[in-house]
Amino acid sequence: MSLFSPQSANGSVFSGWLMPAALLLLLATALLSVTQGPMSIPVSDALVALLPFEFASDAPAHYQLVVTGIRLPRTLLCIAVGAILAMCGAVMQGLFRNPLADPGIIGVSSGSAAGAAVAIVLIGLIDWQLPEFVSALAIPLFAFIGGFVTTILVYRLGTTPNGTSVVMMLLAGIAIGALSGAGIGLLSYLANDQMLRDLSLWQMGSLAGATWSNIALATVTLVILCVVFMRKAKALNALLLGEAEAGHLGIKVQQLKSQLIFFTALGVGIAVSVSGLIGFVGLVVPHLVRMLMGPNHQRLIPFSALLGAALLLLADLISRLVISPAELPVGIVTALVGAPFFIFLLLQQRQRIA
């Protein structure tokens, strides 16, 4: 049962105090992310460092470098990736009409990771003298292709003339996830030490590699996804009734499903390519939002984006602080929180079936 019914007199999902509260939460976590780390920086000095012009201040000069050179890119990437992963999770759960569906579960994430692994090992093995921007773009591109091919394959396997079978699609996702895992394992035998380190870092997920090109890629993707998913929010609500019922309500169901699959694959592929495998954000965040304000996608999608960004910022902060000055891959932090949550959800479903 939802704790709040933030439906106001005019029916807008953005009125009321919840949206400002969520924005404030995001702002606060972003500020924490910029100021906290192995070296703590006072908020005022951090804000001064963020100003686009010179400002007379007696703060140490290296604050500027730490804030704008290291922490700001990382924070921005974190926001984009967290929002993308949470939104894609919310949409996939609607698509499958199952709150357990998650980009990781239908194999899109592992497909992307396999693509990335191919790129890492190929570039290392062949040792072409490639221009730097080509090799920098190769990994995102291969990750996207891997995720996209996986999604199409899962979709084909799960689709029958009478519509899409959710069970078949989930099973196909499991099979392809296993295949991707085997592929990455195989590649790791071809890899040298440096590649192995890259691969394992990739598989655990990290936001340490934030570059401005990655940020731009993720931000553009985020904007596209926001527009597409918000336009499909009402149709997604109808889809929760079942495919036949959604069709009776005038939804072009096959077309809707194809679009949603394409754009979730895009989102997950890009997210994996810029930050590796960060699991469970797409599972935990939409679930929390549904508990707070119900399953209506017109609310679920924007609030998942905001909360996903805030939670990934917190997870990233924890990953930087617990063994400071070294850091944990953020994927370990999200898995430590998300996997028990997943088990808790499984237990709930089991009780419901029993």
Residues in contact with other proteins by the rule CB under 8 A: 1-2, 5, 10-11, 97, 99, 234-235, 237-238, 240-242, 244-245, 247-252, 290, 294-296
Tokens at 56, concatenated: 């007379």
Least spacing, CB of residue 296 vs other proteins, in Å: 6
Q: Closest Cα partner for 273 from 74, 90, 94, 136?
A: 136
CB closer to other proteins out of 101 and 199: 101
Least spacing, CB of residue 10 vs other proteins, in Å: 6
Under a CB-based contact definition with an 8 Å cutoff, are residues 100 and 346 in contact? yes
CB closer to other proteins out of 5 and 129: 5
Which residues make Cβ contacts (< 8 Å) with residue 307, sequence separation at least 6? 22, 25, 86, 285, 288, 289
CB closer to other proteins out of 136 and 241: 241
CB closer to other proteins out of 124 and 294: 294
Tokens at 265, concatenated: 């694959």
Least spacing, CB of residue 253 vs other proteins, in Å: 9
CB closer to other proteins out of 197 and 252: 252
Least spacing, CB of residue 290 vs other proteins, in Å: 7
CB closer to other proteins out of 181 and 294: 294
Least spacing, CB of residue 7 vs other proteins, in Å: 9
53 exposed, middle or buried (CB, 10 Å; 0-12, 13-18, 19+)?
A: exposed
- Return the amino acid letter for 272: V
Q: How far apart are CA 84 and CA 74, in angstroms?
A: 15
Under a CB-based contact definition with an 8 Å cutoff, are residues 25 and 308 in contact? no
For residue 41, the number of C-alpha atoms closer than 13 Å in the C-beta half-sphere is 27
Task: Count Cβ atoms below 10 Å from residue 12 Cβ, excluding itself.
Answer: 12
Least spacing, CB of residue 351 vs other proteins, in Å: 13
